Amino acid sequence: TVTPTPIFYTIKPGDSLLGVAQRYGVTVAAIQDANGILDPRTLQIGQQLVIPLPEDEEDDPANATPTPTALPITVQNVHFSETAIGGLWVLGEVQNSSGQPLEQVRVGVALLDKSDGEIARASGMVALDLLEVNDVAPFALLFGSAPGNFDHYITFPLNAVPAYVGSYYRDLVVENVESEGERYAAYTVTGTVRNVGPEDAVSVQVILTAYDPLDRVVAMRKVPPEHNVVSPGGSTTFSIVLAPVGGPVTRIAAVAQGRRRSATNP
């Protein structure tokens, strides 16, 4: 079967989702779903959208077979853990092997029985808004209950679009990372976020990922540091508690992300 080439559209001044949808003969909801857009007001000039094919909208999503996005991303280092009240955590990470920065990256996990029948499905965005080339971003999905007939699973990328990098601040580094805690218990992770670029960084967040000896993701958090605005040459600190759902923890990765002030105040 020949896979259709995806259609991309770059937002121009005066564009609206409704206008773009009418131009390509698709619904606004289909564009929002394909690009992970929760609020159309967040559209930015220069942002690139994936336009879903009209026939895609006629498919029954309940019976559809998950297919990878046209942009190559890899779901890896997956870990499952049951909660104390019968739920099921699924943690993992996505690696960007597309050769270009990506955003709006969403992954899915389907639980299957012994006959490969799907019994539950969950999806969610990764923790990083901008996924640079070859970088990884963690995710955490929660099933409300662990099905008794759960036997195995599949993971699949649901969405990823070329990033409009002009809105992101890419000159943040994380330094002096230290952690205290027991191998299976809560960890307190501290460190410093430093702005090595020429502009203010706003909406700064720190993303932590903890790994076990098999390099599976056993904890992740995304929280703001002490100050979420960092001036050029400035720095701020963070102290974050991680609660692993497995272990023992052998390493913790820390990255920071932020936005350009000009992107948040057009």
- Fold category of 73-163 in CATH: Immunoglobulin-like (2.60.40)
pLDDT at position 237 is 98
Question: Alpha-carbon distance 91 to 120, whole Å?
Answer: 16
Q: How far is CA 26 from the centre of its chain?
A: 26
Evaluate the CA torsion angle 52, 53, 54, 58 in order and state its sign.
negative
How many alpha carbons fall within 13 Å on the CB side of residue 168? 18
Specify whether the CB–CB gap between 126 and 73 falls below 8 A: no
pLDDT at position 2 is 42
166-264 to CATH, choices 1.10.760.10, 2.60.40.10, 2.40.30.20, 2.40.160.50: 2.60.40.10
Domain 7-58 has CATH 3.10.350.10: yes
**pLDDT over threshold 90, residue 24:** no
pTM: 0.73
pLDDT winner (highest mean) among 120-129, 149-158, 257-266: 120-129
**pLDDT over threshold 80, residue 132:** yes
pLDDT at position 4 is 47
**pLDDT over threshold 50, residue 152:** yes
Question: Alpha-carbon distance 47 to 56, whole Å?
Answer: 22
Look up residue 228 and give its two tokens.
Answer: 């979420």
**pLDDT over threshold 70, residue 265:** no
**pLDDT over threshold 60, residue 64:** no
pLDDT at position 199 is 96
pLDDT at position 245 is 92
Question: Alpha-carbon distance 191 to 208, whole Å?
Answer: 11
